[in-house]
Each structure stands twice: as structure tokens, then as C-alpha cells.
């Protein structure tokens, strides 16, 4: 059964991911838009095998601007917009729950839906370490959602009430350890610069709050607290909490690899790059 939603998928050289992603959405979303930023592999060839998929090419600046361009410029024919990445897969439970909401009728006060991602790393579901469930705003009414204007760790902001869905979205976060480390090295540059420059985003980002029922705002508040700790100390604390207190060790050997790289190495790398930026600033001011 088809849901009255428009799916938006960003692509760039996603030949290894796009078919399974499309297959999980095809026949469920009323229309599918692909916003491609110049793929040179077989991504576009694979997409050409499907009927009624609209492929639009748009130059890539950053994820936030690409997503917001899509929201503002694509010719949606539905009231609801679903945003996923090429390495995401909609589960049958997710699709069934969305359809149930549309069949029952969605209140005008509800402008969005949150779904948890089910992270798969080296073929294993990372269930512990506080990594599941982690909710993201993936579906919202047209005109009531936008992506945060951030270089890294962007979330969709929904104006009005957003309710949790029961089904998950599978997130295949890496094809290989080499891909994982290369991506996180790139992302560490963005996160280090944002923390170093202390960019004031005002209303363009989700405000952190532990008192609200919004899990995205709660995670943002915890991140704000984390950033107040000293450089090079906070990665050790974060890893200890995630791996030991939040039971990340129960994820086994592949979980150890994931939690160490994601909770310690990545964040230590961010701190090292912040330190490097501060050293350069000091040297320039001394000249």
C-alpha cells in the first residue's frame, strides 16, 4: 500500500547502496526524488532502471544546504516529506506504522514523526552503549520542517508536535573500516571548526533541553554539556560512559571496534584538530 508521502534521497557515488535503499522505499512512497550531486559511478544507471523516480542534479555545498534546497525547490505533490540517506533502509515495521497513522488520520497538531535508527556496523546491530534507540525527525509536513544550518551532526527541526514511530530505519554506517575512518576524518574537520569558531546559530539549530520530551533536544543538551569538558579529557569520559556504564561491551568484538572508533578515536581526533586550530591562531597573533 502506498503512503501519501514524497521521499527525498541524497546521492553521490552510491552504487553500492542505492538499489537496496530504493527497494525499501519503492511502492511505499507516492513519489521518490533523488538529489544527486554529480555521481560518476553507476548510481544514475541503477536509478534509470526504475520507473517514476525523479532525478535532479544539484551541486553539493554541505548536507544542510543540500537538504534545505531539496525541501524548498522540489515539486512535491504530497503534504508529507520523508528524508533518508542512500545507506538507509525502511523496515516493514516502519512502513506499516506510518500507514496506520495515515489510515487512522493525523491530527493537525502533529507536524512530524520521529523514528529510531538501527545502526549496522560490520554486519552487526549496535544495540548497546546508548546507541539504540536514537530518534531522528525523518517525516514532516511540507512547510513545517527544515534541516539545521550546521556543518556536521545536523537534525531536522519540526515546528509543532512530533510523535515517535514504532518501526526503525536501518542505518548501514560503513562499507568498510577504511570508508568509516575516511568519513569520520572529514567530519572531524567540520565538527572541530564549529566548536573552535563557536558559531552562534541562534534559531537555526535545535536547542538543547533535558526537560522536554523531544529526544533530539535531550541529546543536544548532553552534547552541549560534553563540550564544556576540557579537551582530551572528555573523549575518555565519553568512552567510559558509553562502553562500560551504558553496556557497550555487550555488543561484542565488532561492538568494541565501533564504540572505540566512534566514541573515543573520533572525538579525540576532533579535540586534536581543535588544539591544532588554537595553535595556529596563537602563532598568527604572535606574528
Cα dist from 215 to 9, 201, 207, 210, 285, whole Å: 24, 20, 11, 9, 41
Burial 116-138 (b: 16+ CB within 10 A, else e): bbbbbbeeebbebbbbeebbbbb
Mind listing the domains of the chain with CATH numbers?
3-172 (3.90.550.10), 177-286 (no CATH)
Strands 88-90, 161-172: pairing is antiparallel
What percentage of the chain carries pLDDT values higher than 90? Answer: 89
Interval 217-250: pLDDT, tens = 999 999 999 999 999 999 999 999 999 999 999 9
**Model-level pTM?**
0.93
Interval 178-203: pLDDT, tens = 999 999 999 999 999 999 997 655 66
Mean pLDDT on 122-150: 95
> Which has more pLDDT, 287 or 257?
257
CB 51 within 8 Å of CB 79: no
Cα separation, 6 vs 249, in Å, equals: 39
User: Which residue do the cell numbers 503512503 mark?
Assistant: 3
User: Does residue 176 register a pLDDT over 70?
Assistant: yes
User: Which residue do the cell numbers 535545535 mark?
Assistant: 206
Amino acid at each position: 500500500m502506498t503512503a501519501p508521502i514524497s521521499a527525498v534521497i541524497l546521492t553521490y557515488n552510491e552504487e553500492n547502496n542505492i538499489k537496496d535503499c530504493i527497494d525499501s522505499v519503492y511502492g511505499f512512497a507516492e513519489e521518490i526524488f533523488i538529489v544527486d550531486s554529480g555521481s560518476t559511478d553507476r548510481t544514475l544507471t541503477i536509478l534509470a532502471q526504475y520507473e517514476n523516480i525523479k532525478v535532479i542534479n544539484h551541486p553539493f555545498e554541505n548536507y544542510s544546504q543540500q537538504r534545505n534546497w531539496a525541501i524548498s525547490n522540489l515539486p512535491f505533490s504530497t503534504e508529507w516529506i520523508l528524508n533518508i540517506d542512500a545507506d538507509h533502509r525502511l523496515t516493514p515495521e516502519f512502513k506499516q506504522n506510518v500507514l496506520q497513522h495515515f489510515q487512522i488520520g493525523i491530527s493537525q497538531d502533529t507536524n512530524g514523526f520521529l523514528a529510531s535508527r538501527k545502526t549496522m556496523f560490520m554486519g552487526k546491530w549496535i544495540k548497546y552503549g546508548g546507541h539504540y534507540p536514537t530518534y531522528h525527525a525523518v517525516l514532516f509536513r511540507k512547510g513545517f520542517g527544515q534541516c539545521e544550518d550546521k556543518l556536521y551532526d545536523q537534525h531536522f527541526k519540526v515546528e509543532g508536535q512530533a510523535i515517535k514511530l514504532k518501526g526503525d530505519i536501518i542505518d548501514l554506517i560503513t562499507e568498510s573500516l577504511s570508508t568509516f575512518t575516511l568519513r569520520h576524518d572529514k567530519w572531524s574537520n567540520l565538527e572541530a571548526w564549529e566548536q573552535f569558531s563557536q558559531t552562534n546559530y541562534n534559531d537555526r539549530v535545535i536547542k538543547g533541553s533535558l526537560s522536554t520530551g523531544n529526544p533530539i533536544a535531550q541529546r543536544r543538551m548532553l552534547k552541549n554539556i560534553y563540550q564544556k569538558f576540557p579537551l582530551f579529557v572528555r573523549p575518555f569520559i565519553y568512552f567510559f560512559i558509553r562502553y562500560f556504564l551504558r553496556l557497550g561491551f555487550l555488543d561484542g568484538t565488532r561492538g568494541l571496534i565501533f564504540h572505540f572508533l566512534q566514541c573515543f578515536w573520533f572525538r579525540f581526533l576532533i579535540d586534536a584538530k581543535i588544539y591544532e586550530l588554537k595553535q595556529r591562531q596563537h602563532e598568527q597573533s604572535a606574528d
